[in-house]
A and B are shown apart, each in its own frame.
Chain A
Amino acid sequence: AAGVIQSPRHLIKEKRETATLKCYPIPRHDTVYWYQQGPGQDPQFLISFYEKMQSDKGSIPDRFSAQQFSDYHSELNMSSLELGDSALYFCASSSGLAGSTYNEQFFGPGTRLTVL
C-alpha cells in the first residue's frame, strides 16, 4: 500500500541557508501535518493543512512557512536556518475532516535535517 513519502530523507545545510522539505500524502488524503522532533524530544506539532488551507498552527517559527498544493502535496520552507533547527521533520496525512470524526494519522519516514 502507498504510504506517505517525504523528500529528501537527509539534508545538510549551513547556518542562514534555506531548506525545502516535501511531503506527498497517501492518495485521497486531504490533510497534511508537519511535526518537528529534536534529539531526545517528542514530536512537536508545527502546522497542518486541510484541502489546501492552513487548518491549525503550532510551534512553527516565523522563519518557516508551508503550503499545500492542488495535488495535496505539501512543502515546508525553512529560511535563515539555525543550529537548533537540526531535527527530524515528520509529515503525516489523514483523510476527511479531523473535526468531525476520528482520523488516524499516517506518518512518513521523516527528513533528517542537519544544520552545520
Chain B
Amino acid sequence: DQQVKQNSPSLSVQEGRISILNCDYTNSMFDYFLWYKKYPAEGPTFLISISSIKDKNEDGRFTVFLNKSAKHLSLHIVPSQPGDSAVYFCAAFTSGTYKYIFGTGTRLKVLA
C-alpha cells in the first residue's frame, strides 16, 4: 500500500519557467512533509519541509504548498534552472515513528 504517491514519473520544463511537482498521500496521521532532491548515485538531499499545521512554506526559489483536505502537496520551483534537473522525492513523517515514507519520485528535467 503506497501511502505517498507521486503520479508523474517525469517532468520537463523550460529554463526560467515554473516547475510544479505533485505528491498525494493517504495517511492523515502524517505530521510533516519534506521534499528531497536526488542526483544519480548520490544520497537524497533535503530541500524544504512543511508542517501539517501550515499550508505554505517558502525558501528562495522553492515553495511547498499543502492542501490537507485533499491530502496533496506540491513543490514549486521558480525560476527553474538546469541544475535543478534531478529526481525529487516527497516524504512524509508521523511523530512517534522512526521512519519517513517516501514517494516514488519525479524526474525533473530543466531544458536550457
A interface residue numbers (CB < 8 A to B):
4, 31, 33, 35, 41-45, 48, 50, 55-56, 58, 88, 90, 92, 98-102, 104-110, 112
Contacts and interface: CB of A to CB of B under 8 A. Distances in A.
Contacts of A48: 98-99
Interface in B83-98: 89, 93, 95-98
Contacts of B45: 107
B42 A98 contact: no
25 contacts: A31-B98, A33-B100, A42-B105, A43-B89, A45-B100, A48-B98, A55-B98, A56-B98, A56-B99, A90-B44, A98-B95, A98-B98, A99-B95, A99-B96, A101-B95, A102-B32, A102-B49, A104-B34, A106-B46, A107-B43, A107-B44, A107-B45, A108-B43, A109-B42, A110-B43
Q: Report which residue of A42, A90, A101, A104 has the largest number of chain B beta carbons within 10 angstroms of its beta carbon.
A: A42
Contacts of A110: 41-43
Contacts of B97: 56, 98-99
Nearest to B93: A102
Contacts, number: 66
Contacts of B34: 104
A105 B97 CA distance: 13
Interface of B: 31-32, 34, 36, 41-46, 49, 51, 89, 93, 95-105
A52 to B, nearest CB: 14
Q: Report which residue of B49, B51, B101, B103 has the largest number of chain A beta carbons within 10 angstroms of its beta carbon.
A: B101
A31 B100 CA distance: 13
A41 B31 CA distance: 24
A112 B46 contact: no
Given A41-B104, A107-B43, 11 more contacts: A33-B100, A42-B89, A42-B102, A42-B104, A42-B105, A56-B99, A99-B97, A100-B95, A102-B32, A102-B49, A102-B93
Contacts of A106: 46
A69 B61 CA distance: 40
> Nearest 4 pairs between A and B by C-beta?
A107-B43, A56-B98, A55-B98, A48-B98
Nearest to B2: A42
